[in-house]
Amino acid sequence: MVSGLKTKTLENTLEKNAKIYIAGHRGMVGSAIHRKLKAEGYTNFVVRTSTELDLREQASVREFFSEERPDYVFLAAAKVGGIMANNIYRADFLLENLQIQNNVIDSAHQYGVKKLMFLGSSCIYPKMAPQPLREDYLLTGTLEPTNEPYAIAKIAGIKLCEAYRSQYGSHFISVMPTNLYGPNDNYDLENSHVLPAMIRKFHEAKVEGKPAVQLWGTGSPRREFLHADDLADACYFLMQNYDEPELVNVGTGDDLTIKSLAELIKEVVGYEGEIHWNTDKPDGTPRKLMDVGKLHGLGWQHSTDIGQGIRATYQDFLRKTETYAV
């Protein structure tokens, strides 16, 4: 949602007839951007599934850009996963994300893309950075070890966009979302994030009549959550109103405890059992909140209340229960 602040629309903005390539259009972020742009009246999209175009293959990506010549690119494609996957497949997460980014960003430069948006992650910030996380905290300390390879790849993407802008004048911008949730999320218990994992756990416990659900830690850490549709709205806003080398945080500016999140999801799902906290398991970082002062100053704020967003996300999960059979 755009607030009452007025922002000057840039010359290099999204024309209604522009050809737009959304890399990763079937994922949670890419599909949200696709929905947003269609709702705004855009129709000239070029998309490819990962089987149709392997973004890790430089020659294939070059050929695609040479043939299609997109005007604008949203780079939402990435190899992603939860803490366990990040920690086990460290080489894959570093190498494959570097390949995807390098190939798309360089081809965007080679074939005259007007503007590219690179989407990163809040994990780029140092593990012990002050809260809330400001954009200028990047590279001021060591990273969280478990997802360091993914974070390093994303930092490289930010710096690559900055370098193309500096050397060639490319209109490449970088956006760092906070924790996301929404339609097309991943509900797999082995490699999903905390919010979708909780939705599935409470749903399965409800269906199976389990008396309790066990969750890790104490429930005391605080986390910030942004609905994917709000991120898409922010991306659309920034693609039109922002063209600077510095990255931009996208979040709500508010957080809640994991315990509060669990109680909220429990209520939405309609589970009536108990929650048992396994304090032998780690809590993780005590707090991870984004500073969104820059984004608010540009004139954008989120509009989806977390309760409303979780209710909508649970309905999305229910539509996918055949995939995630209980």
Q: What is the largest CA-CA distance in the chain?
A: 61
Element (H, E) at 258: helix 258-269
Is 1 annotated for ligand binding? no
What are the two backbone dihedrals, phi and then psi, of residue 145, each rounded to the nearest 5 degrees? -60, -35
Is 24 annotated for ligand binding? yes
Is 95 annotated for ligand binding? no
What single string gives the DSSP state of each residue in 195-242? HHHHHHHHHHHHHHT-SEEEEES-S--EE-EEEHHHHHHHHHHHHHH-
Tokens of 135: 């954009």
Which amino acid, residue 241? N
DSSP state of 147: G
What single string gives the DSSP state of each residue in 87-125? HHSHHHHHHHHHHHHHHHHHHHHHTT-SEEEEE--GGGS
Is 120 annotated for ligand binding? yes
Is 119 annotated for ligand binding? yes
Tokens of 119: 């989407």
Is 165 annotated for ligand binding? no
- The whole-angstrom separation of Cα 85 and Cα 79 is 10
Is 27 annotated for ligand binding? yes
Is 25 annotated for ligand binding? yes
16 touches 42 (CB < 8 A)? yes
Is 269 annotated for ligand binding? no
Is 178 annotated for ligand binding? yes
The verdict on whether 125 is a catalytic residue reads no
Is 302 annotated for ligand binding? no
**How far apart, in Å, are the Cα atoms of 278 and each of 161, 167, 215, 281?**
42, 52, 6, 6
Is 84 annotated for ligand binding? no
Peptide bond connecting 70 to the previous residue in cis, omega within 30 degrees of 0: no
Is 216 annotated for ligand binding? yes
Is 29 annotated for ligand binding? yes
Q: Which of the following is catalytic: 21, 150, 236, 271? A: 150
Q: Which residues are annotated as a binding site for NADP(+)?
A: 24-30, 119-122, 154, 177-180, 193
Q: Which parts are annotated binding residues for substrate?
A: 201, 216, 223, 283
Show which residues are catalytic: 150
Annotated binding residues, written as ranges, equal: 24-30, 119-122, 154, 177-180, 193, 201, 216, 223, 283
